[in-house]
Structure 1
Amino acid sequence: MPSAKLKNVVNSHDDPIFVQSLGRAVRVLAAFQGADGPLSLAEIASRAGITRSAAQRIAHSFRELGYMRLSSDGRGFLLDLGILDLAYDYLRLNPLLRRASPVLLELRRNVRERVDLSLFDGQRMVYAARMQSKREMFFATLIGNSVPTFCTSGGWAVMAMLPDIEVDRLLAAADLRPVTPRTLTDPQSIREQIALTRQNGHALAVEQILMGEVALGVAVPGPDNRPIAAIHIAGSLSEWQPEEFRRRVAPLASEAVNAIASS
């Protein structure tokens, strides 16, 4: 799910100091979001909304700089290690992640379930730290993976800290497609979960993103007391009843958020 900022790059023509060529280059990198494999120049051009010749020049430049490479069969392009270097530096220099890392490690030791930290980015929650349990799929373990805000425990926790008018705007703009057969897509049902989250201080989501999973989320506030992230703890319904899971992990998740906020 591309970020709102990347989606808006194409609409920046009226900004007098916006570098249009840089915007096109960023759209080429963003073209790989959600791709299932290498992309041809025609696919890059189509996804980035640029001409094929522009895609060719930009892709060549990124290859020279170490940010893109040819696939093994030479028929398409993939992102290269330079991108991972940038991601590492983002994570290394992020002050929230530096404060949160020891707290998340201790939380993972205590709950013995998957612990994640996701960053709030409007319509999506982007995973920036992931401490896995024994039950994981490949893509679910990757930093940078994102899930919709409207149907996740962390998303509900974040929205619970926002004024109702902002929640209404988020829901009005959301792509309310179900992720699982149990995903809540009715705005009023989502608002009810947000109300429960405000009452309880945490959100509990059952099979909203993954069947067989229960997840508890607590929002992490920023300096202005607006939500900037969320801690998620996820367990298996084959091992936990939802209310038992809530009683076990909610106090620990709340303590972790308080420790991060006060550090």
Structure 2
Amino acid sequence: MGMDDEGDGEAPPRSGGVDDRLFLQSVARALDVLEAFAASPRPMSLGELAQAAGTNKSAAQRIAQTLLSRGYLERGRDGGLVPGRRILDRSFDYLRANPLIERAMPVLVELRKAANERVDLSLFDDLTTIYAVRLQSKRETFYATLAGRRVPTFASSGGRACLAQLPDEAVDDILARSDRKPLTPKTLLEPARIWRKVKEARRDGYAYATEEALIGEVVLSAAVLAGPGRPLGAVHIAGSLSEWTPDEFRKRFAPLAIEAARALSG
């Protein structure tokens, strides 16, 4: 049975702590053009790109030509604009510079061997978590193999594992600001029900989700911490309900996820 990951999430808005006097609107517009592909991963015409980025066609044309010249946009087979290969260079730069990912790789490789299921490392980013490492299993769909995909914090096991490490008021704040849309008919949307899952994660040391993001999938995650109350991300193990019951999956893999997350924490 194919498995996808735990849904899609929008990229977060502008981060806090930025002095508005130093904010360059022209740079922000260029990033808006690149980020337009998050909602529409297909070749786009200049007009479509302008509309998706919320700018006029003249500005979009200047931005697109600049990005084309630098390799951050390319022409697709039909002449439409697509993200360029140069973007992968910046992803490489980030992954190479992140000390957690460097420490995590040998731990995740060993975890993948022990579990024989999909193993992921996600990074906590407020309303969303983003997959930084994906080690696929014997049965995967395309998106479940790709790093860089965001999922809503409230709906993912990794996100809830991180929420469990935060003070109550921080959890309430994230839930209040989240756009709680269902990913499947079984996605938990009500804050009270999500809170119960967060409290379970506090008690058990890991969080889990069953068919909330993909029908037929069970996922559990343990938080990686920089220190008390400071979640960096989570270690995930994902399996198929065609092979496991939720209780069997949790009993088999929760200790492995917790051990791996502890090895990466601190």
Q: State the TM-score bracket (shorter-chain normalisation).
A: over 0.9
* RMSD, aligned α-carbons: 1.6
Shift of 1:96: 0.8
Task: Find the partner of 1:94 among 98, 104, 108.
Answer: 98
**Runs (4+) of structure 1 moved beyond 3 Å?**
none
In structure 1, the residue corresponding to 2:208 is in which secondary structure? strand
- Whether 1:166 and 2:170 are equivalent positions in the alignment is yes
CA contact (8 A) 1:2 1:30 kept: no
Tell me whether 1:38 sits opposite 2:46 in the alignment: no
2:127 pairs with 1:142? no
**What residue number does 2:54 align with?**
49
From 141, 155, 161, the counterpart of 1:157 = 161
Does the CA-based 8 Å contact 1:2-1:33 persist in structure 2? yes
Specify whether residues 168 and 5 from structure 1 end up closer, same or farther in structure 2 by C-alpha distance, changes over 3 A only.
same
Q: Choose between structure 1 and 2 for higher RCO, CA contacts under 8 A separated by at least 6 residues.
A: 2
Q: Cα deviations across residues 152-204 of structure 1 (Å, max 9, x unaligned)? A: 11111011001111111111111111111111111101000111110101112
Unaligned runs of 5+ in 2: 1-8
**Amino acid aligned to 1:70:** R
What are the within-5 Å matches in structure 2 for residues 58-207 of structure 1?
A: 58-74=63-79, 76-207=80-211
TM-score w.r.t. length of structure 1: 0.93
Identity score, percent: 51
Contact 2:211 2:217 in 1 (8 A): yes
Question: Counterpart in 1 of 2:250?
Answer: 246
- 1:4 aligns to what? 12
Amino acid at match of 1:72: R
2:32 aligned partner, one-letter code: R
What secondary structure does 2:213 align onto? coil
Partner in structure 1 of residue 3 of structure 2: none
Distance in structure 2 (CA, Å) of the matches to 1:60 and 1:224:
47
Structure 1 stretch displaced more, 32-41 or 123-132: 32-41
Would the aligned equivalents of 2:136 and 2:144 in 1 still touch at CA under 8 Å?
no
Q: Report the CA distance between 1:34 and its aligned residue.
A: 2.2
TM-score scaled by length of structure 2? 0.92
**SS of 2:37's equivalent?**
coil
**Structure 2 counterpart of 1:18:** 23
Classify the secondary structure of the residue corresponding to 1:32.
helix
The count of corresponding residues between Structure 1 and Structure 2 is: 257
Residue 36 of structure 1 deviates from its aligned partner by 3.4
Stretch of structure 1 that moved more, 253-262 or 189-198: 253-262
